[in-house]
Amino acid sequence: MIFALIIAPIVAGVLLVLVPRSAEAFAKWFGVALATIVFIIVALEPHASDESLRWLSRPFVANFHVGLGGIGYWIVLLLALSTACALAVTRVPRQRDFVAQMLVLLGAMTGLFVARDLLLFALFWDLMLIPVFLTLIAWSPTRSTATAWRYLVYNLVGGLALLLATAAYGVVQGTTDVLAANPSMLAPISPAWAFWIFLGFAFAFLIKTPVWPLHTWMPLTYADLPAPMVAVVSAVQSKAGLYGFIVVTSVLLPGPMHGAAPAMFVLGLIALVYGALAALVQDDAKRVVAYSSLSHLGLIVLAIFSFNPIALGGAVVYIVAHGLFSAGLFIVLGEVERREDTRLLSRLGGLGARNPKLAGGLTILALATLGLPGLCGFAGEILILTGVYRAGFVWPAVVALIPIIIAAAYMLRVLQGLMNGPEVADVPQRRDMTPLEMLALAPLVIAIVLLGVNPGPVAASSRALTSAATALANVQTQSQSGIAYCKQALLDQRRNAMERAQRYLASLPRDVNGRPIVPTAQPATIGSVQEPSCLRYPDVMAAAVKATAK
């Protein structure tokens, strides 16, 4: 079943060549139907069991092992949803071929997020670049292929590093079928190997995410891709790197992952601030959204490398949330561009008067992007910031707040530049969104609200990082609401604090009565990373001291 989810779109995309070129509407609705079917199947089968076929026995074991579970489940749902919505509003030249590329992309990315084998993961990682490259070449608005080359060179260099790291991991571990395995069952890897393998993975993931200074392919690519494809690429493909950090490196290579955390924090913060500032000054509306993606994804990098369960839950929520609103934004901007033949903020204005529905759609999406409470952006941001702060990274959390404020500025600038203000005379004002186009945007908006109100199930998927961590855990955690989830996470932290406090007390010198001498907290150390975090729970400390005295 899961194999079919991967193979069917790819085969359908390849076979679309056999359909006559004039059957544009057929191709489009066929694509929409296929993506919808994928969505429905995935939605109905949250506990589908893993499927596996032997691929290689030597030099290391590799399997065609796929599973629908954990974080990948939500991303596949997001992928199918955004593909269906984007295809429904597709209106490009040579539509049949374009739909074919979209379907191949759908299959390849589904494969990436259901792969439970590292080699299979690497296969789909490289495969998903090809339809985007072909689209950049054949549908480039400028008839130049510079963007396509930049996209391919950056991402493929990353992909090859991933390949080398995968091969090395396979040789060292003896198998690459590890993404669903219990981490405690894996053989430990020597630090030297772990370092180099991590370097290969991290390089690939950082390019894909992207983070500064590896991001230069991204704004160009987003600006040149046709709207339906950029909606899917920004919604899902850009999450592949973050997904990789969460399910691959943090599980398989925890040592170097923790070692890299300071550097990653710096990179994440730079992306966060730089992206927000750059978004503030772009004239091209698509590039505003592209740079805002850079900023938002930097926030997720921060969350992943704070190693805090709340932040990780938030990261997953934000991955899905960003996918929803960026897909919606790119679809709406595509609609604007098709009506007005431009997307430059300086040339547009006052569209809202004639196109109230379009303006309404853009407003909801912009509000979700800038983190209005009740919509999905807020849910992710608050979880991430809480988690990062809880993990003891106070200053990063404070710095991360600034771009969130800037986000309001640039999103309102887009809204104002396109929809409000006086009408611009020299651009054509065509008719408002058709019911069909509204229908295509509606699922995304509904999902944005649903996720904003109840992020619990999505956040909980980060707990069961792998599908092997039994369906039972999923059932229990998914039934909790978001607030209950956060409460639970706080309680977990408290329980950890008790253990840490006992360990901390054991390390202290004792007085004559055998009681540990607890130093009074120095103002300089409060809130810093050096301070033992258990000191932040005075009641826990008191209980622990009492327990030691007995």
Partner 1 sequence: MTPHLIVPFGSADWAAVAPPTVVGVAALVVILADLMLPRRARRISAIAIGIVGLIVAGIIALQGWHHPYVAFGGAFIEGGFAIVFEGIVIVAAIFSLCMSYGFARDDQIGGAIALMLWSATGAMLMAGAASLMMIFLGLELLSLALYCLCGLAARASAREAALKYLILSSTASGFLLYGMALLFGATGSVALAALANPPISAALFDIGCGMFLVGLCFKLSLAPFHVWTPDVFEGAPLPVTAFMSVVTKAGALAAVARFAYAALPQRDHAAILIPLWIVAAISMIVGNVGALAQTDIKRLLAYSGIAQLGYIVAAMAGTSALGLRYAIFYLGAYMFMNLGAFAVVTLLSRENDEGSRLASFAGLGYRQPVLAGLMTFFLLALAGLPPTAGFIGKILILATDVNTGYAWLAVLLIVGTAISVYAYFKIVRAMYARTIGTPVLPRFVPASALPWVGVALCAIATLGLGLYPFAPSDILPLVR
Chain residues binding partner 1 by CB under 8 A are 14, 17, 55-56, 58-60, 97, 119, 123-124, 126-127, 130, 133-134, 137-138, 140, 143, 145, 148-149, 152-153, 156-157, 160-161, 163-164, 166-168, 170-171
Give the SS3 label for residue 62. strand
> Least separation, in Å, of the C-beta of 168 and partner 1?
5
Q: Between residues 4 and 153, which has the closer beta carbon with respect to partner 1?
A: 153
Q: Between residues 204 and 336, which has the closer beta carbon with respect to partner 1?
A: 204
34 phi/psi in degrees, rounded to 5: -65, -45
- Tally the C-alpha atoms within 13 A of residue 452's C-alpha that lie toward its C-beta: 23
Query: How far apart, in whole angstroms, are the C-alpha atoms of residue 327 and residue 447?
Result: 12
Q: Between residues 55 and 307, which has the closer beta carbon with respect to partner 1?
A: 55
Tokens of 291: 């740079």
> Least separation, in Å, of the C-beta of 115 and partner 1?
12
Give the SS3 label for residue 547. helix
Give the ranges where 420-506 is alpha helix by DSSP (H).
Answer: 435-453, 456-460, 471-478, 482-506
Q: Between residues 137 and 344, which has the closer beta carbon with respect to partner 1?
A: 137
> Least separation, in Å, of the C-beta of 226 and partner 1?
13
> Least separation, in Å, of the C-beta of 29 and partner 1?
21
Q: Between residues 133 and 318, which has the closer beta carbon with respect to partner 1?
A: 133
CA end-to-end span of the chain:
59
Tokens of 493: 């932290």
Nearest residue to 115 (alpha-carbon basis) of 66, 45, 43, 62: 66
> Which residue pairs from 130-134 have beta carbons closer than 8 angstroms and sit at least 24 positions apart in sequence?
130/104, 131/13, 131/101, 131/102, 131/104, 131/105, 132/101, 132/105, 132/221, 132/225, 132/229, 132/233, 132/237, 134/101
> Least separation, in Å, of the C-beta of 537 and partner 1?
47
Partner residues linked to 52 by β-bridges: 65
CA distances in angstroms from 396 to 215, 303, 309, 322, listed in the order given: 21, 10, 17, 21
Cis upstream peptide for 59 (omega within 30°): yes
Q: Is residue 384 a contact partner of residue 308, using CB atoms and an 8 Å limit?
A: no
Give the SS3 label for residue 56. strand
Q: Between residues 12 and 397, which has the closer beta carbon with respect to partner 1?
A: 12
Tokens of 5: 């989810």
Q: Between residues 151 and 212, which has the closer beta carbon with respect to partner 1?
A: 151
> Least separation, in Å, of the C-beta of 342 and partner 1?
21
Partner residues linked to 510 by β-bridges: 516
Query: How far apart, in whole angstroms, are the C-alpha atoms of residue 376 and residue 309?
Result: 19
> Least separation, in Å, of the C-beta of 93 and partner 1?
9
Query: How far apart, in whole angstroms, are the C-alpha atoms of residue 354 and residue 258?
Result: 53
> Least separation, in Å, of the C-beta of 222 and partner 1?
20
Q: Between residues 166 and 326, which has the closer beta carbon with respect to partner 1?
A: 166
Q: Between residues 97 and 437, which has the closer beta carbon with respect to partner 1?
A: 97
Q: Between residues 168 and 270, which has the closer beta carbon with respect to partner 1?
A: 168
Element housing 30 (H / E): helix 24-44
> Least separation, in Å, of the C-beta of 438 and partner 1?
32
> Least separation, in Å, of the C-beta of 318 and partner 1?
30
Q: Between residues 112 and 331, which has the closer beta carbon with respect to partner 1?
A: 112
> Least separation, in Å, of the C-beta of 94 and partner 1?
8
Give 114-165 as a DSSP string.
Answer: HB-SHHHHHHHHHHTHHHHHHHHHHT-TTS--HHHHHHHHHHHHHHHHHHHH
Nearest residue to 389 (alpha-carbon basis) of 381, 323, 373, 116: 381
